[in-house]
């Protein structure tokens, strides 16, 4: 486990780990496709009022009014720290 990550490493985790892939295949959250959007069960409020944006690589919950990048998503789903989330993501990159 590292004590810190270089900004470049963190940027790669945020931008190059596809958020939909992370949600569906790695974290195995429930998801569905509707109206052309990939929607996932929000790990905070457990609603499907969500979408992902492939351009920004962010997942958004419209109910929580919150955006999740891949690091945020791992922290919320696994209830872990920022560094634990970075360790987890560095292993799947
Ligand atoms: Zn939510």
What does the pLDDT look like over 16-54, one tens digit per residue? 999 999 999 999 999 999 999 999 999 999 999 999 999
Q: Is residue 88 part of a domain?
A: yes
The pLDDT score that the predictor gives to residue 39 is 98
The whole-model pTM stands at 0.94
* Distance from Cα 63 to the centre of ligand 1, integer Å: 5
Q: Is residue 15 part of a domain?
A: yes
The domain in which residue 83 lies consists of 7-92
Spatial neighbors of 4 by CB under 8 A, at least 6 apart, are 83
Torsion of Cα atoms, 38 then 41 then 44 then 49, to 10°: 60
Q: Of 20, 22, 39, 19, whose CA–CA distance to 31 is shortest?
A: 39
Strands (E), the chain: 31-34, 37-40, 50-53, 58-61, 66-68
Q: Is residue 2 part of a domain?
A: no
* Distance from Cα 1 to the centre of ligand 1, integer Å: 30
* Distance from Cα 59 to the centre of ligand 1, integer Å: 10
Q: Is residue 25 part of a domain?
A: yes
Q: Is residue 1 part of a domain?
A: no
* Distance from Cα 12 to the centre of ligand 1, integer Å: 25
* Distance from Cα 44 to the centre of ligand 1, integer Å: 5
Asked if the model's pLDDT at residue 84 lies above 90, the reply is yes
* Distance from Cα 2 to the centre of ligand 1, integer Å: 31
How many domains is the chain built from? 1
* Distance from Cα 49 to the centre of ligand 1, integer Å: 7
């Amino acid at each position: 486990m590292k004590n810190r990550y270089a900004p470049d490493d963190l940027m790669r985790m945020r931008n190059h780990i596809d958020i939909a892939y992370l949600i569906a295949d790695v974290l195995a959250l429930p998801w569905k496709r509707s109206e052309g959007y990939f929607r996932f069960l929000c790990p905070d409020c457990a609603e499907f009022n969500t979408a992902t944006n492939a351009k920004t690589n962010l997942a958004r919950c419209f109910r929580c009014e919150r955006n999740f990048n891949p690091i945020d998503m791992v922290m919320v789903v696994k209830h872990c720290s920022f560094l634990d989330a970075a360790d987890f993501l560095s292993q799947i990159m």
